[in-house]
Amino acid sequence: MSRPVWVDRSSPAKARKTLEEFRQAIAGGSALMIYPEGTTTRGDVPLLPFKSTAFEAVLPPGQGSVHPILTYYSGDRAAGDVTVAWYDDTPFARHVWGILGNKRTRAKILVLPELRPAPDMTRKDLANEARNMMESAHQSILRQQQEAPSES
């Protein structure tokens, strides 16, 4: 079962409260799924810098680990399929309606190696290590997509 933890970045006090909720969820055996870019993109551009607060939830070392995951969606753009990623000024309801009209949407999920924080790592170090690993894999996938004909 999912137990969402909503991120409120409006003040340092609220960020600390969110971090405590992350730690409680991890201590309770839950896995957290975070989107450290803080937004979505078209997917054909480099990853944005990561926001590092959530990475503090697995510090100090031994509190947990990070499992970087990349998700790619594709459909038949020639048939007018809408991408799943919501990244522009399209109203949300119109975007969802467009997705529902897709003939098909495929999701590809790439699970990268687990990251366990080193004893001297800060949350920013861990966020940068995860981002670098993910960006390297992302660029590799983009090159493969450019070299091979695809649906997306």
Model pLDDT for residues 35-57, shown as the tens digit of each residue: 888 777 777 888 989 989 889 98
Tokens of 95: 């975007």
**Residue 113 falls within a domain, yes or no?**
yes
Residue 22 and residue 30: Cα distance in Å, rounded?
9
The answer to whether the CB of 33 falls within 8 A of the CB of 91 is no
Query: Residue 3 pLDDT > 70, yes or no?
Result: no
Query: Residue 152 pLDDT > 50, yes or no?
Result: no
**Residue 11 falls within a domain, yes or no?**
no
The answer to whether the CB of 126 falls within 8 A of the CB of 59 is yes
Mean pLDDT of the chain: 85
> Looking at the 3D structure of the chain, how many domains does it have?
1
**Residue 1 falls within a domain, yes or no?**
no
The boundaries of the domain holding residue 59 are 37-147
**Residue 5 falls within a domain, yes or no?**
no
Tokens of 89: 């000024």
So what's the pLDDT on residue 74?
76
Mean per-residue pLDDT, 106-135 = 93
**Residue 132 falls within a domain, yes or no?**
yes
So what's the pLDDT on residue 84?
82
* Burial environment of residue 137 by CB neighbours within 10 A (0 to 12, 13 to 18, 19 or more): middle
